[in-house]
């Protein structure tokens, strides 16, 4: 009997080793050719065009992540820059305000220096420490006290005139009652005719009162009141106020003048305390006797 033959479906080709050697030789030849001659440039360009869409698809997730990261970073950077600009604007506004405040204070200090040089009285420059929170009194607390030579009774002035009078003193602070406070009374005189009077704090906000005027006293609206020097506490000639109106009562025969202070303690921080000798100040009855002789 004849043995059946095996059906050969595939032809036997070169071995794997031979194929590897051929591929290596082909690669070396392509490398050498590409290094010395531009023969393969069109092929490389064609292959690059062919695989470019696949590269974009593969790199799309990475590009999306980079875009989101850059957008988030840009937004964060923009917010930081905006915050920095806001801080800079606030700082610049504070610097401008502080500069304007220093300019105003320097101008006021120059005017106070001129006032101090124009009077023969020794003085102490003080600064407002704080304003007591009392709606029924008009006081200022300064940053200097008895250690600077300040004593109770000494007058306080600014470039506009008399501000008030020291009423309480500690070693490092002093408290002054303003002109409009009901505890302050100042011997004054009318600059126009020399008429001597006494000015008091008024019930009307921000005003002075000249009380106990007789109907025939020559006091008019617009008259300037200055310190008369009687009593020794306030040197003569310091501006006090300007008369706004004179209320006359025909029934009683008396009148009262209302004046506006010429000083402005609410505007400034620096003042002068005049160092008068409070131990030589006459008693109140002596002041009244001097006024009665007018």
Token representation of residue 152:
């109770």
pLDDT at 230: 86
pLDDT at 111: 66
CB atoms within 10 A of CB 269: 17
54-63, 157-166, 170-179: range with lowest mean pLDDT: 54-63
Give the separation between CA 281 and CA 294, rounded to whole angstroms. Answer: 20
pLDDT at 281: 57
65-79, 100-114, 144-158, 166-180: range with lowest mean pLDDT: 100-114
Whether the CB-CB separation of 259 and 225 falls below 8 Å is answered with: yes
Per residue in 240-291, pLDDT tens? 999 999 988 877 778 889 999 998 888 888 888 988 888 765 444 444 454 4
pLDDT at 3: 54
Per residue in 43-52, pLDDT tens? 777 777 788 7
CB atoms within 10 A of CB 256: 17
Token representation of residue 18:
């031979």
For residue 213, give every residue at least 6 positions away whose Cβ sits within 8 Å of its Cβ, in sequence order, or none.
Answer: 197, 219, 246, 254, 255, 256, 257
CA distances from 228 to 203, 215, 236 (A): 24, 22, 5
CA distances from 70 to 19, 79, 144, 228 (A): 49, 14, 61, 80
Token representation of residue 7:
């059906």
* DSSP for residue 149: T
Cut 0.95: pTM above it: no
Per residue in 118-141, pLDDT tens? 666 788 889 899 888 776 668 999
């Amino acid at each position: 009997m004849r043995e059946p033959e095996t059906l050969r479906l595939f032809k036997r080709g070169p071995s794997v080793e031979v194929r590897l050697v051929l591929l290596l030789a082909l690669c070396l030849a392509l490398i050498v050719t590409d290094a010395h001659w531009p023969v393969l440039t069109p092929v490389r360009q064609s292959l690059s065009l062919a695989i470019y869409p696949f590269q974009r698809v593969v790199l799309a997730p990475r590009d999306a992540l980079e875009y989101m990261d850059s957008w988030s970073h840009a937004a964060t950077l923009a917010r930081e820059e905006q915050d920095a600009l806001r801080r800079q604007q606030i700082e610049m506004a504070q610097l401008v305000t502080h500069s304007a405040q220093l300019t105003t204070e320097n101008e006021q200090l120059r005017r106070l220096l001129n006032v101090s040089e124009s009077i023969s009285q020794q003085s102490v420059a003080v600064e407002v420490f704080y304003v007591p929170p009392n709606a029924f009194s008009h006081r200022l607390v300064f940053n200097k006290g008895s250690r600077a030579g300040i004593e109770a009774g000494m007058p306080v002035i600014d470039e506009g005139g008399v501000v008030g009078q020291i009423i309480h003193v500690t070693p490092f602070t002093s408290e002054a009652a303003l002109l409009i406070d009901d505890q302050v009374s100042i011997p004054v005189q009318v600059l126009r005719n020399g008429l001597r009077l006494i000015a008091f704090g008024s019930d009307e906000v921000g005003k002075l009162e000249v009380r106990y005027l007789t109907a025939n006293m020559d006091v008019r609206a617009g008259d300037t009141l200055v310190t008369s020097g009687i009593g020794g506490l306030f040197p003569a000639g310091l501006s006090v106020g300007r008369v706004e109106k004179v209320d006359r009562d025909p029934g009683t025969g008396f009148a009262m003048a209302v004046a506006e202070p010429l000083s402005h303690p609410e505007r400034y921080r620096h003042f002068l305390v005049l160092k008068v000798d409070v131990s030589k100040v006459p008693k109140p009855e002596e002041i009244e006797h001097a006024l009665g002789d007018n």
